[in-house]
Structure 1
Amino acid sequence: MFIFTQILPPDASGVSHYTLSLTADDRTRSRHRFTTEEGETVSLNLPRGTILQHGDRLASETGETVLLVTAKPEPIFTVTAHNPLDLLRAAYHLGNRHVSLEITPDYLRLSPDSVLKSMLQQMGLQVIEEIAPFFPETGAYHHHHNHE
């Protein structure tokens, strides 16, 4: 079993040997055992608090094996509105409930929850159930690596 201990810089050379598709929640698990797309059991032993991003590449303890992290499609709600202010109000109310939320100019995404779905629909928003990659905000004070 390979143990991955470091995130490679974006400009690091080398071919990825394995692909690990993770849900948004799984990408917050810095010390956990997973199975790659190729069926290999791997273990992550990254610094606590690490949040992995789609496209991150991890190196094994020896540095010889490279793992590509991808965002695994998962059940989500995509919320849209007729105008930006309604979407902003929805983000405010969901934030007050400490809901993990993906925020874009055109839609919000969140994990499925029937109570929240009802609240959003009562606010006049459209809620669509989908299977898609989920990229929630990490928070204003959370330290994370950024490849931009």
Structure 2
Amino acid sequence: MRTLNKLLAPHLKIAPVLVKRAPSLTLAFDERRKSRLAATLDNGEEVALLLPRGTVLRDGDVLVADDGGLVRVVAAHETVLYVRAPNALTLTRAAYHLGNRHTPVEVGADYLKLEYDPVLADMLARIGATVEQVSLPFQPEAGAYGGGHKHGHDETFAEDYAIAQQVFGEHHGHEHPHDHDHVHDESCGHGHPPHRHAHR
């Protein structure tokens, strides 16, 4: 059994004909975010996926097997909620409420897409969004604060990540002009134990 243990960096250009000839591996989103996986290529060959933890594969990625062979990643069609809204405000509210629930969301110019969930479908309908249950590939946003795999051909990621880091630095990297108690716990993401301190 071959092992797929390397993800080609997006800046490495490969001849399109080689990618086209490579066997494909069709995976749903839940499978594409697993770094250890027994899978079957679309040609029936069984393979083992062994990638660095935190890697999230995207449609069009190219993997390299331990024998040097290439494998092309395809995002599978899966059951998702396709969300539209009559205006930008409603779509923005929908995105806010989904983000508040830490729900993976694919963001388009005029739509949102998320894994099927009847409770969330009802919530979205109540705020005025139109929700359809459809079968489509699902590619949610990468975490703006660096969670997950920093992916080179997500065109907006580098900019979003830089902005998020700048905001984080501005908030935590200098003295505050106001006094307030601030409690850090494990969920804060700073890497230190819970404690209370006052900003000055």
Gaps of at least 5 residues in structure 1 are none
Please identify which structure carries the higher helix content. Answer: 2
Which portions of structure 1, spanning 4 or more consecutive aligned residues, are displaced by more than 6 angstroms? none
- After TM superposition, give the deviation of residue 51 of structure 1 in Å: 0.8
- Which residue of the partner structure matches residue 35 of structure 1? 40
Give yes or no for the alignment of 1:89 onto 2:89.
Answer: no
CA RMSD of aligned residues (A): 1.3
1:38-96 per-position Cα deviation (integer Å, ceiling 9, x unaligned): 11111111111111111011111131x11100110000000000101110000000111
- After TM superposition, give the deviation of residue 26 of structure 1 in Å: 1.0
Could you tell me how far apart the structure 2 residues matched to 1:137 and 1:25 are? 14
SS of 1:25's equivalent in the other structure is helix
The structure whose RCO (Cα within 8 Å, separation 6+) is larger is 1
Give yes or no for the alignment of 1:2 onto 2:2.
Answer: yes
Once the two structures are superposed, the pairs formed by residues 16-35 of structure 1 within 5 Å of their partners are 16-35=21-40
Q: Which letter does structure 2 place at the counterpart of 1:126?
A: T
Could you tell me how far apart the structure 2 residues matched to 1:106 and 1:31 are? 35
Q: Which letter does structure 2 place at the counterpart of 1:44?
A: L
Could you tell me how far apart the structure 1 residues matched to 2:22 and 2:103 are? 35
Could you tell me how far apart the structure 2 residues matched to 1:9 and 1:124 are? 41
User: TM-score when scaled to structure 2?
Assistant: 0.70
- Which residue of the partner structure matches residue 72 of structure 1? 76
SS of 2:124's equivalent in the other structure is helix
- Which residue of the partner structure matches residue 112 of structure 2? 108
- Stretch of structure 1 that moved more, 110-119 or 135-144: 135-144
Which of 148, 151, 162 in structure 2 is aligned with 1:145? 151
Could you tell me how far apart the structure 1 residues matched to 2:72 and 2:37 are? 16
CA contact (8 A) 2:59 2:73 kept: yes
Number of equivalent positions: 147
Sequence identity percentage: 44
SS of 2:29's equivalent in the other structure is coil
